[in-house]
Every structure is written in C-alpha cells, then in structure tokens.
C-alpha cells in the first residue's frame, strides 16, 4: 500500500469516527404527536397535549408512583457519554401543585437512559423539578452516573403561578475548576451551576433519550401531584443519516414540451425531518438557481427545461444538516 493510499484510508477512518459523534439541535413544537416521542408506563396524567394553536406541548399531571414513567424522544440516533456536550431549552409553565399533602417529589426534564441499569440507577443529566411547599418548585441541575452516584446543584425557586418561563441547561464536559464538567441551568435570567469535582472523575453515564422523566418512589402519597408543561423544545441529538430521496419514473426522460412534471418521496431516520426539497437545472454549462418543490415527504415539481439535453438535480435537505441529491437527465425535442 502506498503512503498516499494509507493517508486516504486514515482520512476515511477519521471522517467516519467524527461523523458518528456529530450532534445537532433537534427542535420539537408538538404541532402533531411526534412519532419519535414514546410513552413508558403511559397510564399517567402526562404526555402530549394539543393547544389548539400552531404549537402543542408536553406535560400534565405528575402523581408519584412506585414505578418509572416517561414521555420522551427515545430516538436520538446514538448514546451520549460524559465527553459529549449537551444542551436543551424551551418554555415551561408551572400550573398547579398539591398542598394537602404538599408535593415533595421530583420530575426531571432531562437527557436520560430509557432502560435502567440492573441496579435501577437513573443515568441522567438535566433539571430536577422538586416540590417544597404549596406555591413553589425548586429547579436544580442534576447528574447521575451509571454506578448510582448522583450530584445535585443549588436550585432556583420558581413560583407555581401559570406564568411562562424560558429554561435551558448546558453540559460542558471540560468545564469547571477541575476541567471535568459543569452543568448550567438557567430559568429566565437566573443561572445555577453544578461543577463536577474529583469525586466524579472516571464516572460515566449512558444516555439515549430526552424528555419528561418521573422516577420511581418507594412510598409515594397518591394524593400529592404537580402540573407542569413545556413546549418549543430544542435539545441535543446525534446527527444520524442523510435523508433518502426517490424520484418516480425513468432516470433518462424524453420530453416534447416544458415543463417536465416530477414527483417522488423522501425518507429519513425516525426523529429526523426533511425540511425541504429543491431542484435546479444544468443546461449547456449553465446552472439555474435552486427552486422549491411542493411538499417534503411526498413532493412534486414542474421543471422548466430548454430544448436539448439538461440535467435536473433534486435535493432533499434534513434538519440535521445533511442532504441527498438525485439526478434526472432530460432530452427535450424540440
């Protein structure tokens, strides 16, 4: 093998390794029930809720139980470990909390592992929402590793008054005084930070989901509850694969007039979306501007071509930044 071939092979290996760890911000407005969001132990009072407007929301009643429950995106295209930066954010509304008895349990809005370890430890990084009294909720950064070690930072006290707040959290793996991680949680303009100390060095987690998570409680009071909703979410997921595009009909088209009608479909990994289908025409060495096709999952386009031979490029764009192009060759006479 030549030195150049070795360099090419090494470049391909490195490129593949890099692509496998690439992330992007996935957005969810809950306009319709998302296929990649799943229920676990769904006989709860929380999940997807339409609002009658352009956006919906996720949330509802949380009654502490002796078993785990969640409503979450379980198709993040990979597994997060400690060294990957993670962010999430959106809007939150705290609607109601019980006072007789007080709700003193916790709900997580977080990246987490959908399958517990054999010791039932929660692998999680995000925000813990914990009841304290009949009018406030404490929101704090939380990290729990695969061995069960959990770390919780200072909290922000948020009133339960149905007002909408901005929220976000950011995990920086090399942040903090010791350079082994810091988790920042922000509610509106208030920020609290959980800095990982040396006692957490070498610990890791295995995370593959994002959403609303309620842990199991050993002795819950069924009369306590908490009502919270979140919407307009953005959260870190792995990039996954480029979308696939299919064009109906032959690859080489004979046309007697213009425009040429094209149609087809697109497909993508669950959780990803095709945001647009566009096309352009290359004729006699000149390339037209991209124009939008109609539709995405099922698309159509009426493409104007000049007499002679033309090349039509149809491109599907994914929300993860990847794209795929299909080609049709057209010969128009006259």
Each domain of the chain, given as residue ranges in start order, spans 21-238, 244-332
Provide the pLDDT for residue 133.
Answer: 86
d(CA 123, CA 55): 30
Is-contact 216 68, C-beta < 8 A? yes
Work out the burial of residue 91: count CB atoms within 10 Å of its CB; fewer than 13 is exposed, 13-18 middle, 19 or more buried. middle
d(CA 67, CA 182): 30
d(CA 317, CA 320): 8
Provide the pLDDT for residue 117.
Answer: 67
Beta-bridge partners for 131: 137
Q: Residue 161 half-sphere exposure, CB side, CA atoms within 13 Å? A: 6
d(CA 332, CA 334): 6
d(CA 334, CA 305): 11
Provide the pLDDT for residue 79.
Answer: 97
Q: How does DSSP assign 71-104, residue by residue?
A: EEE---SS-B-TTS-EEEEEEEEEEEE-BTTB--
d(CA 31, CA 52): 9
Is-contact 125 205, C-beta < 8 A? yes
d(CA 72, CA 34): 10
Rg over alpha carbons for the chain, rounded to the nearest Å, is 25
Is-contact 153 184, C-beta < 8 A? no
Provide the pLDDT for residue 276.
Answer: 98
Looking only at the bridges linking them, the beta strands covering 252-255 and 45-49 are: unpaired
CATH number, span 21-238: 2.60.120.200
| pLDDT tens track, the chain, 334 positions | 443 333 333 333 333 333 457 999 999 999 999 999 999 987 779 999 998 878 999 999 999 988 899 999 999 999 999 999 999 999 999 999 998 898 999 999 999 999 876 667 889 999 999 998 889 999 999 999 999 999 999 999 999 999 999 999 999 999 999 999 999 999 999 999 999 999 999 999 999 999 999 998 887 787 899 999 999 999 999 999 999 999 999 999 999 999 999 999 999 999 999 999 999 999 999 999 999 999 999 999 999 999 999 999 999 999 999 999 999 999 999 8
CATH number, span 244-332: 2.60.40.1220
Q: Is the pTM of this model over 0.85?
A: yes
Provide the pLDDT for residue 4.
Answer: 37
Q: Which of 97, 93, 95 is nearest to 134 (CA)?
A: 97
Is-contact 207 113, C-beta < 8 A? yes
Residue with token string 């064009």:
247
d(CA 193, CA 142): 10
Spell out a b/e string for 41-65, using b for 16 or more CB atoms within 10 Å of the CB, else e. eeebebbbeeeeeeebbbbbebbbb
């Amino acid at each position: 093998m030549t030195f150049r071939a070795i360099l090419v092979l090494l470049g391909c290996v490195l490129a593949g390794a890099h692509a496998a760890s690439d992330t992007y911000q996935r957005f969810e407005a809950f306009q319709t029930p998302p296929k990649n969001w799943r229920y676990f132990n769904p006989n709860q009072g929380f999940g997807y809720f339409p609002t009658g407007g352009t956006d919906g929301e996720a949330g509802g009643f949380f009654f502490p139980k002796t078993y785990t429950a969640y409503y979450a995106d379980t198709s993040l295209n990979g597994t997060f470990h400690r060294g990957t930066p993670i962010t999430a954010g959106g809007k939150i509304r705290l609607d109601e909390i019980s006072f007789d008895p007080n709700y003193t349990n916790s709900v997580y809005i977080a990246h987490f592992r959908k399958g517990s370890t054999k010791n039932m430890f929660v692998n999680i990084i995000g925000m813990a929402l914990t009841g304290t009294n009949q009018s406030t909720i404490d929101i704090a950064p939380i990290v729990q590793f695969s061995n069960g070690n959990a770390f919780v930072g200072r909290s922000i006290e948020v009133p339960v008054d149905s007002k909408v707040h901005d929220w976000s959290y950011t995990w920086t793996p090399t942040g903090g005084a010791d350079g082994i991680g810091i988790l920042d949680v922000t509610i509106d303009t208030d920020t609290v930070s959980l800095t990982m100390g040396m006692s957490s060095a070498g610990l890791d987690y295995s995370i593959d989901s994002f959403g609303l998570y309620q842990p199991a409680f050993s002795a819950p009071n069924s009369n306590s509850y908490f009502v919270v909703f979140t919407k307009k979410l953005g959260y870190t997921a792995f990039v996954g694969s480029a979308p696939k595009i299919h064009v109906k009909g032959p690859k080489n088209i004979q046309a007697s007039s213009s425009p040429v009608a094209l149609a087809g479909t697109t497909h993508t990994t669950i959780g990803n979306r095709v945001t647009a289908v566009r096309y352009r025409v290359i004729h006699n060495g000149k390339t037209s501007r991209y124009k939008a096709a109609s539709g995405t999952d099922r698309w159509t386009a009426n493409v104007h071509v000049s007499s002679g031979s033309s090349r039509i490029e149809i491109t599907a764009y994914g929300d993860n930044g990847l794209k795929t192009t299909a080609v049709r060759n057209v010969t128009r006479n006259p």
